[in-house]
Amino acid sequence: MNKSVLEFQNVWKTYKMGTEKVKALRGVNLTIKEGDFIAIMGPSGSGKSTLLHLAGILDIPTEGTVLMNGKNVKDYSGKEQAKQRRSNIGFIFQRFNLMPQLTAIENVMLPMISQDEKKAKMLLNKIGLKDKYKRFQKQLSGGEQQRVAIARALANDPSILLADEPTGELDTENTRLIMELLKNLNENDGLTIVAVTHNPLAAEYAKEVITMQDGNIKS
């Protein structure tokens, strides 16, 4: 039986907006296990991104418990949180977030604890960019930029990959290419993936689709 990577136990997240309180999450219960590939869908304001931020220890819950590998994230010090983000979690963003002054290989090496060019080349080869090591962001297509971003997310061998609208800036062909790549990473490498998406085509590649509405998971 696959072990739990992340657990949300009655998780609430409330933000203050001026004098008002906005309940972004309302008692979410969710278990993510090793080898899962979960797509999270739902309208804007349903709590998808908030859930992903808590999964990535970019925020902590107002109420309830988030467990990472069995440990309450609230018990991590700031230094421990940063270590978890660096070593256990890979992030993929909608707008790629590449450093334009760096080449593809330099972007992949950026988060590495040890600047390992050989490993960066191996990752770029893995995602089909063997001939693009020295290209800058402006010399890459949108799909190629997102592939570099995926390679960067894999730089420190994370146990879970969190993707926030990974195909939001891409056309249909590149959406298929990126999602096929993520599917292969999940099926062949056993990587656990959680992806927030508005795109039904992207969601088709996941093993499980979860829909959120009004800060909770629809039953």
pLDDT tens for the chain, residues 1 to 219: 678 999 999 999 999 888 888 899 999 999 999 999 999 999 988 999 999 999 999 999 999 999 998 899 999 988 988 888 888 999 988 777 888 899 999 999 988 866 788 999 999 998 888 888 999 989 998 889 988 999 999 988 899 999 999 998 889 998 999 999 999 999 999 999 999 999 999 999 999 999 999 999 986
Structure tokens at 87: 């070593």
Structure tokens at 101: 């002054």
Closest by CA to 48, choosing from 163, 196, 200, is 196
In degrees and rounded to multiples of 5, residue 190 shows phi and psi of: 75, 20
Instruction: Output the pLDDT for position 1.
Output: 67
Structure tokens at 133: 């090591």
Encode 15-55 in three state secondary structure. Answer: EEECCEEEEEEEEEEEEEECCCEEEEECCCCCCHHHHHHHH
Instruction: Output the pLDDT for position 219.
Output: 61
Sheet holding 160-164, edge to edge: 89-92, 160-164, 192-196, 37-41, 208-213, 216-217
